[in-house]
Chains A and B, each alone.
Chain A
Amino acid sequence: MTMPPIFFIAWAHVTNRVRQTFIGVIGVATGVGFTIMIAGVMEGSQRQFVGTLVDAMPHITITDEHRSVSLQPAEQIYGAAQRSNFTATEKRAGITNSNLVIGSLRDWLPGAIAPSTKVTGMIMSGNARFGVTVTGIDPRQEERVSKLARQMVAGELYSLGRGSNAVLLGNALAVKIGARVGSSLTITPGTGNPVTVQVMGIYRSGVRAVDETTVYSLLRTAQMMAGQPDLVNELRVSLDQAFRAEEIASKIEGQTGYRAVPWQAANADLLSSFKVQEKITDVIMAAMMLASTFAIYSIISTITNEKRNDIAIMKSLGMKEYFVQAIFIIEAGLIALVGIPVGWLVGYLLCIAMTHIRYENPITEGALAIAIYYSPVHYAVVGLITLGCCLMSAFLPARKASHVHPVDIIRGAS
């Protein structure tokens, strides 16, 4: 038993109507191509931005704060205690026994950890003053937790050990205050006296907020500015898998009691804006798909209108309605099966073309090339959705065509 000639008829229809088929293929290819390009650009820019963010900041920052305030001695004895006349202490508590904490975390942490001391202050250059955060680091340990060594654009990370009160400035701050390697500046920490520092290097993280406000120094320099010689108020963690930061931060909090902030939480606002961006992308892609769907709908409607005589005779010869319907759905499928690979190619070429466009990013610094994320998943998903849309768009005109009454057509043609 052979199959009804539906494939045979469908193939003949699409191959004999070259112009219509070509327009259909172009419609589908355009939709697929631009959808792939948009998906690649959106995901590429997000990944590039997140990558820059992840490179510029520790994946987890453990601070000397506690998630919950510890009980006062009176509260440990009584159900309730009245507290009054608190006096803010001049000194920060810091992370108690930081070396022990670091040691206990290193036992299981899938990554590296390094201590740091953060002090806020004002940097002065001439009459200009800018608020900065001095982050005291140990260059050997820092190298394992951040990409600072690779982000140096002048000097090097180990230059910190070569000068008295050496510091590294972000390039945005250096430009703002007109500092260069070798410049002497004054930093007035919030808790101490002005300290003269020497610029030994300039880095560029790519995140303007970091490059404008973070000054790196040796741990002891920051501790000296804080007026607390052993102060370590932050542990910086770099993970082998940055996207596990939330899970591991929670584990760290459970173990140490100190607040551990994953990079996602630290940048929640930015990341939430991605969600909006993703929704907009979805809407744009849906519009593209809709355009392809309308193209197919229009073509199949035209073909079914033109083929009313053929439908009538096929039905009079004994072809069942669902076979007639299947013919036109197969035609849409054939157009989609040609249009989708063409669209893949168009999408790929558009992505390549997009990489030549440069743009100024207000969050990161300087002109950047548009980043494209090439993923086979984009191609597969867009292809499958398009195929589905094409088949569905053919369904209505095909069903209408299959309901053609042969007698109406035969009488009309006679």
Chain B
Amino acid sequence: MSEVVVQTEHLLRRVESGDTMATIVNGIDLTVYEGEFLAITGPSGSGKSSLLYLIGLLDAPTAGDVHICGQATSAMSESERADMRLAKLGFVFQFHFLLPEFTALENVMLPMRTLGKLSMAEMREKGTKLLTALGLGDQVNRKPGQLSGGQRQRVAIARALSNDPAIIIADEPTGALDTIATDQVFKILRDVANSGRTVIVVTHDVKLAAKADRRVNVVDGKISEIVVNEAAKAPAPATN
């Protein structure tokens, strides 16, 4: 059995909505395994992105806990959560969020420089390899403004992978891409999962979600359905 990399316990998130409190994630228990490609689906406002941000430690739960690679995170300080994000998590968003002043390679090197474990030469070599593997070997010195939407998203994926995180968190990574770029990005994420990393993707695209190992449907802040895709990859056991 694969190792558990993400486990949520009675995860609850309430936010102020005018004079009342709205529950956007309502007691979700979810376990995600090493090397699993998990898609989170659901209608707009269902709480799927909120769940993803809680798993990605970008937001803190009102109650419950998120365990990342066996470590409980609810009692962590913001600084410790930042360290955890830097070392264990990689993010890809609908918007690429590349820093426009920097080249593709410099953007990919940014998390590595923040982590500070490698020399400049090593970071440069690793960044170039990642971009080359994603088909951007000839674009390393281009700035985001000189790249297409698909290329930017691939640079963002390379950046997410740069610190060799255990988990890739992707929020609608193909939401702003055309069909060809969407297929490319999804294939890359699939390959990432096949290489042993866990990929958790929020998507509206049912067709793409069907390519995941497991699809978790969220409605009104709760998991309404879990579908295991036997055809995609040997699935890991799931709980709710």
At the interface, yes or no: B135 with Cβ under 8 Å from chain A? no
In the assembled complex, the CB of B7 is this many whole angstroms from the nearest CB of chain A, namely 21
Contact assessment for A312 and B97 in the assembled complex, using a CB-CB cutoff below 8 Å: yes
- The 8 Å CB contact of B93, one of A12, A15, A410, is A410
- The 8 Å CB contact of A318, one of B59, B87, B102, B118, is B87
Q: CB-defined interface of B33-72 with A at 8 Å, one 1/0 digit per residue?
A: 0000000000000000100010010110000000000000
- Check A317/B58 contact, CB under 8 A, given A4-B116, A414-B95: no
Q: Which bucket holds chain B's interface residue count?
A: 35 or more
Q: Determine the residue in chain A with the shortest Cβ distance to B84.
A: A318
Q: How far is the CA of A323 from the CA of B123 in the complex (A)?
A: 20
At the interface, yes or no: A276 with Cβ under 8 Å from chain B? no
In the assembled complex, the CB of A213 is this many whole angstroms from the nearest CB of chain B, namely 72
- Residues of B near A309 (CB, < 8 A) are 95, 97
Q: Determine the residue in chain A with the shortest Cβ distance to B98.
A: A313
Q: How far is the CA of A150 from the CA of B63 in the complex (A)?
A: 91
Residue among A318, A321, A411, A414 with max Cβ neighbours from chain B (10 Å): A318
At the interface, yes or no: A320 with Cβ under 8 Å from chain B? yes
- Residues of A near B82 (CB, < 8 A) are 315, 318-321
Contact assessment for B111 and A318 in the assembled complex, using a CB-CB cutoff below 8 Å: yes
At the interface, yes or no: A282 with Cβ under 8 Å from chain B? no
At the interface, yes or no: A316 with Cβ under 8 Å from chain B? yes
Q: How far is the CA of A315 from the CA of B79 in the complex (A)?
A: 10
Contact assessment for A411 and B49 in the assembled complex, using a CB-CB cutoff below 8 Å: yes
At the interface, yes or no: B78 with Cβ under 8 Å from chain A? yes
At the interface, yes or no: A8 with Cβ under 8 Å from chain B? yes
- Check A4/B95 contact, CB under 8 A, given A318-B85, A410-B58: no
Q: Determine the residue in chain A with the shortest Cβ distance to B202.
A: A414
- Residues of B near A321 (CB, < 8 A) are 78-79, 82
Contact assessment for A413 and B58 in the assembled complex, using a CB-CB cutoff below 8 Å: no
At the interface, yes or no: A241 with Cβ under 8 Å from chain B? no
Q: Determine the residue in chain B with the shortest Cβ distance to A13.
A: B101
- Check A320/B79 contact, CB under 8 A, given A1-B117, A5-B113, A414-B171: yes
Q: How far is the CA of A3 from the CA of B98 in the complex (A)?
A: 21
- Residues of B near A127 (CB, < 8 A) are none
Contact assessment for A414 and B85 in the assembled complex, using a CB-CB cutoff below 8 Å: no
Interface residues of B in 66-124 (CB under 8 A from A): 78-79, 82-87, 89, 91, 93-95, 97-102, 106, 109-111, 113-120, 123
- The 8 Å CB contact of A406, one of B58, B98, B110, B114, is B58
Q: How far is the CA of A231 from the CA of B114 in the complex (A)?
A: 88
At the interface, yes or no: B175 with Cβ under 8 Å from chain A? yes
- The 8 Å CB contact of A316, one of B87, B91, B117, B120, is B91
At the interface, yes or no: A76 with Cβ under 8 Å from chain B? no
At the interface, yes or no: A75 with Cβ under 8 Å from chain B? no
Contact assessment for A316 and B94 in the assembled complex, using a CB-CB cutoff below 8 Å: no
Q: CB-defined interface of A74-96 with B at 8 Å, one 1/0 digit per residue?
A: 00000000000000000000000
In the assembled complex, the CB of A233 is this many whole angstroms from the nearest CB of chain B, namely 81
Q: Can you report 29 residue pairs joining A to B where beta carbons are below 8 Å apart?
A: A1-B117, A2-B113, A2-B116, A2-B123, A5-B114, A9-B99, A15-B101, A309-B97, A310-B99, A312-B97, A313-B91, A313-B98, A314-B99, A314-B114, A316-B56, A316-B97, A317-B110, A317-B114, A318-B84, A318-B87, A319-B114, A321-B78, A406-B58, A410-B93, A410-B171, A413-B97, A414-B94, A414-B95, A414-B171
